Amino acid sequence: MGHVVNERITGYVKDCSDSQSRKNHKAISGTFAFLVSLLAKGYVMRMGTLAMQFTLVTGFFLAGCGGVQSGPITALKGSQLPEEQGWEVSTNAVRPLGVVINGSHLTLNTIGVLRVTDQLPGKGFMWFYKDIPLDFQSGFSIEFSLQVHKVEQPHNFLDSGIMFYGSIDTSAGSFAEEPRSHMIYFDEDAIGWGDEKGKFAMDTTDKFHTYTLKVEVGKFAKFYVDGKLALKRNDWVGIPRIGFGDMTNDDGVNGKFSIGDIIVTSDSQGLPSRPAPRRHLIPPSRRGG
């Protein structure tokens, strides 16, 4: 577990098994040998030294424990708290956080929770995010089950008390992060894109529904409900980080919901098309209240 920095949990440690290390040994050696050969051939000019050093470090890392993976992985187990699984949290709520385990599902709640700054309810937010080392450019799917229990106030443009991020860039350092247009909101009677470019009417409270986000050829995204196409867009921004929860401090835009395992599947063949930038030091002016 990590430490708290500006209402975030940072510094979690990623484990690698011995078998995974052995599997990656050849890949590491091959990557390192290839890059060293470039150095030997004089491809690194004075102005390009830093770039090549960065490539060496990045290539070595991605070929090892943190490398690109293929096939399904369980990004979240519903039977275990997110922070115990390496998920980080963005929140302004007092602890303990409103997250409990209900069998094979997690139940999250921001209705009535108090903010750290003034001990008042209404404007609390709490959402979890995690890096997923997959090549989203090659196509991927994310599947999870979710049931909405209560929405205090429905979503508004780019804000929601219950949402899912299939792609997150945290480099801006804001508490909600980006691209908010691509987040999927969950109201009691509908789901949709954060920028209102798609909406699907349904009862999200009657039972657990199976939701599947599929992205093809890097930018074509489709979102299914129980196997039925509900939303789509053709401007997907692929970043290997996902998230879920309440991402707004708008007064009353809060919710309570349960979520099960999150399964991510990718047919990756190469390195990620875009890195997942990180920034833990958030300027006071960018922090959520």
**13 found inside a domain:** no
**106 found inside a domain:** yes
Q: At which of 28, 47, 63 does a domain end? A: 63
Same domain, 220 and 242: yes
Q: Which has more confidence, 46 or 187?
A: 187
What is the maximum span of the chain, computed from C-alpha positions, in angstroms? 64
Q: At which of 35, 63, 91 does a domain end? A: 63
**Domains: count for the chain:** 2
**9 found inside a domain:** no
Beta strand extents in the chain (DSSP E only): 3-5, 8-10, 71-76, 88-91, 99-102, 105-109, 126-131, 140-151, 163-165, 184-186, 190-193, 199-201, 209-216, 220-225, 228-233, 241-246, 255-266
The token pair at 102 is: 């209900």
- The confidence band for 139, taking pLDDT boundaries of 50, 70 and 90, is confident
**12 found inside a domain:** no
Contact 189, 209 (CB under 8 A): no
Instruction: For helices 49-63 and 18-40, give the axis angle rounded to 10 degrees.
Output: 160
**54 found inside a domain:** yes
pLDDT tens, residue by residue, 197-225: 999 999 999 999 999 999 887 689 999 99
pLDDT tens, residue by residue, 34-45: 333 433 444 333
Tell me which residue range forms the domain holding 125.
70-286
Same domain, 86 and 185: yes
**203 found inside a domain:** yes
**278 found inside a domain:** yes
User: Rounded to the nearest 5 degrees, what angle is found at the Cα of 18, between the Cα atoms of 88 and 14?
Assistant: 10
pLDDT tens, residue by residue, 48-88: 333 333 332 333 333 334 455 557 899 999 999 999 999 99
Question: One-letter amino acid identity for 251?
Answer: D
Same domain, 53 and 74: no
pLDDT tens, residue by residue, 222-270: 999 999 999 999 998 878 889 999 989 889 999 999 999 999 987 644 3
